[in-house]
Amino acid sequence: MCPYSYYQIMRQSKDKKHWRYQMIQQCFKNGVKPTAKQFHTSPPVVRLWRDRFQREGYSGLSDKSHKPHRSPRATPQDVKDHIIALKKTYKRVGAEQIRDIEDLPQAPKTMRKIWKEAGIPSRKRPKKHVTKKQPSCRQEAL
């Protein structure tokens, strides 16, 4: 049917659902393996989209997110609140020093990330713009 592989088409296509729908229609007519050869892909890919189409219909042919449903290693909210409170207590001290003072298990990078998410500014002061001072013509004449 097409000279390009399925993966090239999916990368460049604006309407992926349409291509997948065509593949599913060919699958119902000819079978899984001939359709896979025709679309230059593997039979498990054809089966995946066929099964998803049968379960969810045309809307099931769209891409789904690969984002995990939960993050088991995420920092608990009470620990985040404690770290934020520590930053308010030690205003001009960095993450490494707070970690050493309070003996926390979190990495300094994690602490900085928590502060950034909470909107707490970093301890670095903004640099002031300094212009070069040039001697005026009057002073040179004197």
Residue 124 confidence (pLDDT): 66
The pTM (predicted TM-score) of the whole model is 0.49
Phi, psi of 7 (to 5 degrees): -70, -35
- Which band of pLDDT confidence, cut at 50, 70 and 90, is reported for residue 30? very high
Per DSSP, the three-state class of 57 is: helix
Give dist(CA 114, CA 39) in Å, integer.
47
Average pLDDT of the segment spanning 29-55: 92
In the numeric block, which tokens belong to residue 17? 């659902």
Give dist(CA 126, CA 105) in Å, integer.
30
Q: What is the residue-averaged pLDDT of the chain?
A: 85
Would the pLDDT of 135 be above 70? no
Give dist(CA 22, CA 67) in Å, integer.
28
Residue 123 confidence (pLDDT): 61
Give dist(CA 30, CA 75) in Å, integer.
52
With the CA atoms of 8, 52, 35 and 18 taken in that order, what torsion angle do they form, in degrees rounded to the nearest 10? -50
Residue 122 confidence (pLDDT): 73
